Amino acid sequence: MAKYRLHYFDARGYAEVSRDMFHMAGVEFEDVRYNLEDWIKEGSTTKETMPFGQMPVLEVDGEMIPQSSAIARFVANQFGYAGKTAVEKGWADAYADLYKDFLNEMKPWAMIAFGYPGQAGDRDELKKTSLDPAREKYFRLLTKGLEKSKSGFLLASGISYPDLMFFETTTSLNVLEPGFLGTDFPEVTAYFKRIGEHPKLKPYLETRPFQPK
161 pLDDT exceeds 90? yes
Helix, strand and coil percent figures for the chain, each rounded to 5: 55, 10, 35
For 31-45, 125-139, 146-160, which range has the lowest pLDDT when averaged over its residues?
Answer: 31-45
pLDDT score recorded for residue 179 = 92
Looking at residue 75, what is its pLDDT? 98
What is 97-129 written as a DSSP string?
HHHHHHHHHHHHHHHHHTT-TT--S-HHHHIII
Q: What angle do CA 166, 172, 178 make, to 5 degrees?
A: 115
CA dihedral sign of residues 60, 62, 65, 66: positive
Average pLDDT over residues 30-47: 86
pLDDT of residue 39: 86
Q: What b/e string do you get for 97-119 counting C-beta neighbours within 10 Å, with b at 16 or more? A: ebbeebeebbbbbbbbbeeeeee
Whether the pLDDT of residue 100 is over 90: the answer is yes
Q: Which of 185, 161, 205, 152 is nearest to 14 (CA)?
A: 161
Q: What pairing do the DSSP bridges indicate for beta strands 30-34 and 57-60?
A: unpaired
Q: Torsion angle, CA of 146/139/141/157, rounded to 10 degrees?
A: -30
- Give me the pLDDT at residue 44, please: 78
Which domains does the chain show, CATH number per domain?
4-79 (3.40.30.10), 86-196 (1.20.1050.10)
Q: What is the reported pTM?
A: 0.94
- Residue 97's nearest CA partner among 120, 116, 70 is 70
In the structure, what pLDDT confidence band is assigned to residue 46 with cuts at 50, 70 and 90? confident
31: left (phi over 0), alpha (psi -120 to 50) or beta: beta
- Of 7-16, 118-127, 162-171, the least confident: 118-127
For residue 155, is pLDDT > 80?
yes
What per-residue confidence (pLDDT) applies to 132? 97
Instruction: Give the CA distances from residue 109 to residues 53, 114, 149, 172, 212, in Å, rounded to whole numbers and listed in that order.
Output: 26, 8, 31, 13, 16
For residues 180-194, average pLDDT: 96
Q: At 67, is the secondary structure helix, strand, or coil?
A: coil
3-state secondary structure of 132: helix
CB 199 within 8 A of CB 160: no
Which pLDDT value is given to residue 121?
A: 84
Q: Are 64 and 3 in contact (CB under 8 A)?
A: no
State the average pLDDT for the chain. 94
Average pLDDT for 143-155: 98
Banded pLDDT at 188 (limits 50, 70, 90): very high
- Look at strands 30-34 and 63-66 and give their pairing: unpaired
**pLDDT classification of 177: cutoffs 50, 70, 90:** very high
Is the CB of residue 18 less than 8 Å from the CB of residue 56? yes
pLDDT higher than threshold 80 for residue 118: no
